Structure formats: C-alpha cells, structure tokens
Amino acid sequence: MRLCPRSLWLFLKSLNTMSPFFVAIFLFGLCLANAINFTSVYEWDQLDFVWPSNKNGSIGQLEQYFNSSEVYFRYMAVFEERLFLSLDINLGIPATLVWLPTSDTSTAPPKLAPFPSWDLHKYHICDSIQWAKGMQVDTEGRLWVIDEGDSACPSKLWIFDLANNDTTERVHQFPETLVSHYYKKRFLSELVLDKTPDDYLAYFADYQSEYLIVYSLKTNKSGPIKTPGVKWQSLAVSPLNREARQLWYIIRRSDAKELYSVSVSELKKAGESAVVKLIGAWPGMPYKMVIDSANVLYAGVFNKNYLSKWNISEPFLEQRFHEVATLRAEWPFSLALDANDTLWVMERNESGVNNKHRLLNAAVGARSYLFNQSTALPTL
C-alpha cells in the first residue's frame, strides 16, 4: 500500500527528517484512499461485429476481411442503456462508430453493432460516416460525433437524435476554409459542448490548425476562434454550475503535458486576447479528459496503465484512481460519464497474443458535465 499526499504530510511531520527522494516515491503512486472501485461489466478475449444476416453487397464481403486485432477504441459516450464507441479507420474495420448495451444477461460478451446502421458506413461514400472520433451526448439525448472523413470525403459533424429512433438531426460539413478538404492538412480529434440559455455550442480541436472550431446548433454555422501559436489536443469543459465556465485544454506539441484553462466567455468574445492560465502538468500527454458535475476532472495519459483525477476546485493535484499491472497499450482506456452518476471505462490489454478488452463501471456520485449536479433522478 502507498500513502496519499495528505497522510504523507502527517507522516512527514512525525518523522522530521525525510529525503526528497523518498517523498517522490510516495507521491507518484496509486493511493488507496483515491482508488475508485470498478465493477467489471464485460470481458472480451476477441471482439466481433453483429453481421447482417443477408450477406449481400459490400458488407457481406467485409465480414471475411474483419480483423479483430485492428479494433482500436478511442472515444466513448453513454446514453441510457447504450454505450457508443469510435474506432480507428483501420483495414478490416467495417464501421468506425458502434454501440453496445450497457447490460446484458447472456453469457457471451456483446458484439459491436454499427451505429446507427450499416447504411451509414460505406467506404468512400461521403454521405456516410468514414472515421468517427470525439463524441458527446447532450442533455436532450442527442449524440454529437466528429467524422474526420478520409482521403475521399471531407470532415463533418453528425448529430443523431437518440431519443427519437436515432434519426439524423444534422449533418454539417465544415467549410473548406475552416477544415481542409485535403486529409493530410487536418486532424480533428476531440469535441466538447457548451450549453447556453438558448443554444448549444460545440468546440472542436483540429491539431493541424492554430484555432479552435466552434459550431452553433442554432445558426447551423461553424467558424474559427483564432489562437496564434496554439494547436489544440484534448479538451474538457467545466460544469454548468460553475460561475465562470472554463475550457481546459492541452496544447498539441510532442509530449505536451501542461494543462491550460481559458474562460469560455472570453473565447466567445474574440479569442485572440483571451487570457489563458497554466494550471499544472500531467505525467504525460492526456488523450482524454472529462469533467463531472462535481468538478472532478478524469484523465488518461498516453502509454500509462493508470487513470488520474483532479478536483478542479482545488489547486492542481494529480491523483491516480485506477491502475492495472500490465496493458502495454498506447491508448489503454476510453472514458465516459453518463447522466446516472456512473463513470464507464473500456480497458485495452495488448500484453498477450490477442488484445483483450474489459468494460468497467463505477458509481462516482456525479454526472456528465452538461448536467446539473444531482444524484436524484426524476422518479415516475
């Protein structure tokens, strides 16, 4: 067992003499008091898709080319009893946006189902989804998904109405002046939402550009917020119940670890003069950050077999809350918070011959950042 910073301090005081080296060993471990106890929901030795029964056309052919070792989960979102995941656009992957049930009574773990249907996953057909990436579920039950596109298709934002038969509510293709139609000149990754009294704004990071992209649901328009010298990587937004809502971000450069914040209202005003604050440094570059309605930021860092958190109401302090012995994955975890006080984690283990996956969840007592802090759900 390792000590936690607070108990360590008492321990130090009781000891009086302590070498800084000794302190460092204790500070960078998982401390039991910070640990979140996860429950395993599913475990897969090998992933598979739900293939269509009539093996007609290109989809039937794809089944024979499917290679489960090429499934790399990236971003995740949860709505009621469904969990959505985006996958890399690798060879042998028939759809980059899939869903799973959050609970299942069968003995075998569930298969990946294309979302919303096979029809919206057609290779090089630009009115279907090519490469799904960052995604969010809003308070109205809409799923917002970035589609990076591919060498043939430009980038888009898709909005699906999960509460209404998964209908496509919006497809917004970014103008060429904003997101290059040449696929080597863009790299979209993350999307975060900002709910205003009469609109929903989405902020996108394209780490080939020195601006943030902002889209308004009300006007159905997208535009840049210029940030000279700054390319964006991971984004997170603090919850609604904070007076001055902040956008938290990591600057894109090799091995950037520093976390910055900027006030969302300043971003809305102009951008160029926005005051940014350096907050602290993670143990590496985070691939994913998410903040819950109780102001706890959860983060996963490239190549680390643990997850970290920080209470953003307090001075920066990285606390590890989940750590596993061996995983050997570059991007070992996908994270998402639901509206029901649960944190979901998809864990990837590359240390064997086949990649193994586990879906975990834990009650954390707070919801996704877009919802008000309330543990009580409306009762019927």
Ligand X SMILES: *[C@@H]1O[C@H](CO)[C@@H](O)[C@H](O)[C@H]1NC(C)=O
Residues within the interface to ligand X (CB under 6 A):
32, 35, 37, 54, 56-57, 67, 69-70, 80-81, 165, 170, 172-173, 220, 294-296, 311, 313-314, 324-326, 340, 349, 351-352, 356
Any residues with CB less than 8 A from the CB of 155 and at least 6 apart, and which? 146, 147, 148, 149, 173, 174, 179, 186, 188
Number of H helices, E strands in the chain: 4, 24
Strands 211-216 and 199-206: antiparallel
CB of 166 to ligand X, least distance (A): 8
Cβ nearer to ligand X, comparing 16 with 379: 379
Three-state SS for 199? strand
What's phi and psi for 305, nearest 5 deg? -90, 30
CB of 90 to ligand X, least distance (A): 8
CB of 351 to ligand X, least distance (A): 4
Name the H helices within 225-286: 264-269
DSSP string of 6-55, one letter each residue: HHHHHHHHHH----HHHHHHHHTSB-GGG----EEEEEESS--B---SS-
In the sheet that holds 221-226, the strands lie side by side as 188-196, 199-206, 211-216, 221-226
Cβ nearer to ligand X, comparing 141 with 284: 141
Three-state SS for 369? coil
CB of 95 to ligand X, least distance (A): 17
Residue 261, beta-bridge partner list: 248, 277
Contact criterion met (CB below 8 Å) for 172 and 157: yes
Torsion of CA 284, 289, 293, 296, to 10 degrees: -10
CB of 296 to ligand X, least distance (A): 5
Cβ nearer to ligand X, comparing 274 with 296: 296
Cβ nearer to ligand X, comparing 20 with 315: 315
Cβ nearer to ligand X, comparing 32 with 281: 32
CB of 330 to ligand X, least distance (A): 14
Q: Which two tokens stand for residue 313?
A: 């109401």
CB of 50 to ligand X, least distance (A): 16
Cβ nearer to ligand X, comparing 268 with 358: 358
Measured CA to CA, the distance from residue 250 to residue 232 in angstroms comes to 6
Cβ nearer to ligand X, comparing 129 with 274: 129
CB of 314 to ligand X, least distance (A): 5
Q: Which residue is nearest to ligand X (CB)?
A: 352
Cβ nearer to ligand X, comparing 255 with 314: 314
